[in-house]
């Protein structure tokens, strides 16, 4: 198993305690105290990143402005052309609020993985708390390659092997649920994956998603954060610099 994913899955079991932390500190979101929350009823949330609790909230400086690379709106096209709202019609696109919910549900109970699909050089510059870095080229291997098989297994998929006659017959008759089963893989217990990269003009996470779909990963278990790091930083949300030496 990929070491980063193993660490992530191992620590996610302790995240349930963070729910009480979020409610223990009473913060009133509104004009009275001038606190800028994530949503009208959610001031901040906690996630686990590399074994440590990270508080995800917005910058409280009213003069905050996006600067640096993500403030640049004009980049050469190609390759920085605006991408469709989703890499595939069957893949759901997420905004920031949906990511907060994903963090507090799927990420917290270990049934989901937040994936920074950018190359390591980009990942080192800063990422979304709770994410792990799996560069998009790893998802673009041939669907039947050993590398792709290893990746699918990391996410909870299981190779089916030889299917018996009666099992095959029951599946053909619709008696056995085959919604998450293919000829070669059983995705029943596969995790929900939420992928992102640099933003609406970044093709790295869309390529990773198309690679997963080519390997028959269920589309309803794949989510796409189109806004990526550009919109995450635009809203002044918590960004962390990964301890890459610790993760290797």
Q: What is the pLDDT of residues 32-64, one digit of tens each?
A: 578 999 999 999 999 999 999 999 999 999 999
Structure tokens belonging to residue 157: 């998929």
- Contact of 47 with 15, CB cutoff 8 Å: yes
Percent share of the chain, pLDDT over 70: 78
Query: Helix or strand or coil: residue 95?
Result: coil
Backbone angles phi, psi at 39, to 5 degrees: -140, 180
Separation between Cα atoms, residue 37 and residue 29, nearest integer Å: 6
List of residues 6+ apart from 10 with CB closer than 8 A = none
Q: Which DSSP helix (H) or strand (E) runs through 48?
A: strand 45-49
Stretch among 28-37, 126-135, 236-245 having the lowest mean pLDDT:
28-37
Separation between Cα atoms, residue 93 and residue 56, nearest integer Å: 21
Residue spans of alpha helices (H) in the chain: 3-11, 18-24, 96-104, 106-109, 120-123, 146-154, 165-173, 204-214, 228-234, 244-247
pLDDT of 149-171, one tens digit each? 999 999 999 998 676 655 665 56
Among residues 120, 79, 86, which one has the least CA distance to residue 213? 86
List of residues 6+ apart from 31 with CB closer than 8 A = none
- Contact of 36 with 204, CB cutoff 8 Å: no
How far out from the chain centre does Cα 146 lie?
23
Mean pLDDT, range 72-80, rounded to an integer: 92
pTM: 0.84
């Amino acid at each position: 198993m990929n070491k980063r994913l193993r660490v992530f899955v191992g620590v996610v079991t302790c995240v349930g305690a963070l729910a009480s932390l979020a409610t223990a500190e009473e913060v009133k979101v509104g004009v009275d105290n001038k606190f800028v929350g994530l949503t009208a009823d959610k001031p901040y949330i906690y996630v686990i990143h590399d074994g440590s609790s990270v508080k995800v909230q917005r910058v409280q400086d009213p003069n905050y402005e996006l600067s640096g690379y993500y403030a640049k709106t004009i980049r050469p096209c190609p390759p920085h052309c605006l991408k469709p709202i989703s890499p595939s019609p069957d893949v759901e696109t997420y905004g920031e609020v949906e990511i907060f919910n994903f963090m507090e549900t799927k990420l917290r109970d270990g049934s989901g993985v937040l994936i920074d699909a950018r190359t390591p050089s980009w990942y080192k510059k800063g990422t979304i708390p709770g994410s792990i870095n799996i560069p998009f080229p790893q998802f673009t291997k041939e669907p039947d390659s050993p590398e792709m098989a290893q990746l699918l297994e990391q996410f909870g998929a299981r190779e089916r092997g030889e299917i018996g006659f009666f099992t095959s017959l029951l599946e053909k008759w619709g008696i056995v649920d085959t919604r998450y089963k293919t000829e070669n893989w059983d995705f029943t217990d596969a995790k929900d994956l939420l992928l992102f990269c640099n933003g609406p003009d970044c093709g790295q996470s869309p390529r990773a998603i198309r690679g997963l779909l080519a390997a028959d990963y269920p589309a309803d278990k794949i989510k796409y954060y189109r806004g990526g790091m550009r919109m995450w930083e635009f809203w002044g949300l918590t960004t962390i610099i990964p301890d890459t030496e610790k993760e290797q």
